[in-house]
A = this chain, B = another copy of it.
Amino acid sequence: MEPRYRLVISCPDRVGIVAMVSNFLSSHGGSIAEASQHSDSSTGWFFMRYEISTRNLSYSIEELRESFAPIAQSFNMTWSLTDSAKPKRVALLASKQAHCLSDLLYRYHSNELDCEIPCVISNHDDLRSMVEWHDIPYHHVPVDKDDKEPAFRAMEQLIEEHQIDTIVLARYMQILPPALCEQYASRVINIHHSFLPSFVGARPYHQAHERGVKLIGATCHYVTEELDAGPIIDQDVIRITHNDSAEDMVRQGRDVEKTVLARGLRWHLEDRVLVHGNKTVVFA
């Protein structure tokens, strides 16, 4: 597919935004291949995402950015203009459980996920062989629970070295260094194995079994300081019955976890997820 530019904007809502932006694009030869807009009447905020065909564009992306900047400023826009030909660089973090990691690697391998994966980082060495079969460097960074600083520094260094754009916690099961969370705000994606806000924290399937719910789920969200409380990107559930033990839920839940994580990551990679406060607008 030909490369496309993605223009993503959030700003206070007012008359004329679409006219201004679409004029700007058509006057530069940019045709809009995909357009999504949302006006949030409760917050008075406006969100938009345009995919721009580059075929007839007579300007480079830098030139477009430069020309657009004054318009953006006059509308108080938070905005980005990215090139689909430059995929994001993603670090996958995992522990011992293979299902999410394996699923993402498979999708990467079969070109379903438009990104580069320069490294996998894990606090265990269990999944090395699987990762290396995909020709991806595997970094084993054990975390000493009495002194996490050395591990934190090692991870931050790896993230920096590999020029990572997005961090994915593929059932990583460890708290990230707070500095990293802050630096990568809205760019660290976690999968929590419950339908949040139910069953925050540890062993959510066991909590679900205890409560006797009839559906279990998974939640893909951006990581914030507060545990399992960040902006939700996607969720899904499956039906269970009295016949399912907590262990059965763990097994069946894996399928939901990996699907929801892959879907959320895909949307993130395509700049379809806009964060506003503690909520997301997802132009799926």
List the interface of chain A (C-beta within 8 A of B).
Answer: 13-16, 18-19, 22-23, 25-27, 29-42, 47, 56, 98-99, 102-103, 106, 109-110, 112, 129, 133, 195-199, 211-215, 217, 231-237, 241-243, 245-246, 251, 255, 259, 278-282, 284
A99 CB, nearest partner CB in chain B, Å? 7
Chain B residue, CB-CB nearest to A214: B235
Residues on B with beta carbons closer than 8 Å to the beta carbon of A280: 212, 242
| A-B contact list, 16 entries, CB within 8 Å | A15-B30, A15-B31, A16-B31, A19-B23, A22-B22, A33-B41, A36-B37, A40-B242, A42-B245, A98-B109, A106-B106, A195-B195, A196-B198, A211-B278, A237-B237, A242-B279
Cα(A106)–Cα(B282), bound, Å: 30
CB of B98 within 8 A of CB of A212, answer: no
Partner of A279, one of B56, B129, B212: B212
CB of B241 within 8 A of CB of A214, answer: no
Chain B residue, CB-CB nearest to A47: B242
Query: Would A33 and B39 be within 8 Å (CB), given that A212-B279, A242-B280, A278-B212 are in contact?
Result: yes
Residues on B with beta carbons closer than 8 Å to the beta carbon of A211: 196-197, 232, 278
CB of A242 within 8 A of CB of B56, answer: no
Cα(A118)–Cα(B15), bound, Å: 38
CB of B251 within 8 A of CB of A232, answer: no
CB of A232 within 8 A of CB of B245, answer: no
Cα(A103)–Cα(B106), bound, Å: 9
Partner of A242, one of B98, B99, B199, B281: B281
Residues on B with beta carbons closer than 8 Å to the beta carbon of A236: 215
CB of B56 within 8 A of CB of A32, answer: no
Partner of A255, one of B27, B196, B259: B259
Residues on B with beta carbons closer than 8 Å to the beta carbon of A110: 98-99
Residues on B with beta carbons closer than 8 Å to the beta carbon of A213: 196-197, 232, 235
Partner of A198, one of B102, B195, B242: B195
Query: Would A26 and B31 be within 8 Å (CB), given that A38-B243, A234-B214 are in contact?
Result: no
Interface centre among A23, A133, A212, A236 (most CB of B within 10 A): A212
CB of B106 within 8 A of CB of A102, answer: yes
Chain B residue, CB-CB nearest to A229: B211
A18 CB, nearest partner CB in chain B, Å? 4
Residues on B with beta carbons closer than 8 Å to the beta carbon of A22: 18-19, 22-23
Chain B residue, CB-CB nearest to A35: B37
